[in-house]
Amino acid sequence: MIAIATASQKGGVGKTTLCINLAYSLARRGWRVLLIDTDPQGGVGLSLAKSAKTREGFHEFLVRGGDLGQMVVPTRLPELEIVPAGQYDTCARQGWVEHEVPARLADLLRSAELRGVDVVLMDTAAGMSSTTEAVVKACDFVVLPQQAEPLAIRSVPHLLETLARFRAEGAGVRVAGILLTMVMRENEMSLKVARELRDMLPANLMFQQSIPRLSSFLEASALGVPVALTKRNPPPEALIFDQIAAELEQRTGLTHEREKEHGHASLMD
Ligand SMILES: Nc1ncnc2c1ncn2[C@@H]1O[C@H](COP(=O)(O)OP(=O)(O)OP(=O)(O)O)[C@@H](O)[C@H]1O
Ligand SMILES: [Mg+2]
């Protein structure tokens, strides 16, 4: 099993949209995916399962641990389950003990692994709160969605420095890649930022695929579903997330994990 977090300093860059659509694509590709919403505002739960709004979830787990199975909400894809954010306000009043959070997160990931999950995806709130820092540190990889805007040239190095600090502090988290979002493919400024980032960053740090700014993503959010489910036939942009999923498999060694599993199976035959 691998655990992947998203993170961004800025809000509204498309983290939740990415998590929902990527989780869906990975599940369609046969992986057992658990999407965990760690954002107090809880966008994931609202989108994939209507009942998630009033359910207990991630924040209750931070306060008192418990049985992951009780918190998991199924979706219409058997391979995709979610853990909603839970009732943040109630949990914040009860409080969780800051130094216990890393151990709770380790418990959560262990429980996911025992459940047979292949990929845990953790959506986070914007900024680097202490909870988000703990979530990122607990994961194997982090994907950094970055809006294609001039500020990116300064904010990307800053976020990479923060992640280097986490590693220096003993976390094993690695950058799976920087993913450009909200790219306006007709807009020279947007394309210039994409070019400059590719030139500035080490080769391979950026995903080949990027996410265009399209009204269909807005519509999908409003309907609360992955973009692939907005129409009877998935619109072409749904394929973008399949390509991102395929790239992510390569970047995180997920394909290799499956080969290992198959290797065992053939040995047992
Ligand atoms: N590629 C896109 N094209 C057009 N609109 C988009 C795209 N991605 C996201 N959006 C819209 O932008 C808004 C913010 O997206 P989203 O909620 O995914 O960002 P976020 O990073 O999770 O925000 P927050 O930091 O508040 O959690 C939403 O209304 C969403 O529908
Ligand atoms: Mg969000």
Give, as one character, the DSSP assignment of residue 202: P
> CA angle at residue 163 from 159 to 167, to 5 degrees?
170
136 Cα–ligand 2 center, Å? 15
- Please report, in tens digits, the pLDDT of each residue of the chain (269 residues total): 999 999 999 999 999 999 999 999 999 999 999 999 999 988 775 655 666 677 899 999 999 999 999 999 998 899 999 999 999 999 989 888 889 999 999 999 999 999 999 999 999 999 999 999 999 999 999 999 999 888 888 889 999 999 999 999 999 999 999 999 999 988 999 999 989 998 999 889 999 999 999 999 888 887 778 898 888 888 888 999 999 999 999 999 998 766 666 655 555 54
Say what the alpha-carbon torsion angle 250, 255, 259, 262 is, to the nearest 10 degrees: -170
Structural domains for the chain: 2-268 (3.40.50.300)
Question: Could you identify the atom of ligand 1 that is nearest to the CA of residue 181?
Answer: 1
Place of tokens 């509204």: 12
For 167-193, what is each residue's pLDDT tens digit? 999 999 999 999 999 999 889 999 999
Question: Could you identify the atom of ligand 1 that is nearest to the CA of residue 12?
Answer: 23
51 Cα–ligand 2 center, Å? 18
For 1-18, what is each residue's pLDDT tens digit? 999 999 999 999 999 999
Strands 73-74 and 80-83, by their bridges, are antiparallel
Residue 44, ligand 1, Cβ within 6 A = no
Helix, strand, coil abundance in the chain, percent, nearest 5: 50, 15, 35
241 Cα–ligand 1 center, Å? 15
125 Cα–ligand 2 center, Å? 6
**Tokens representing 20?**
């929902």
Strands 141-147 and 174-181, by their bridges, are parallel
**CA end-to-end distance (rounded Å), the chain:** 23
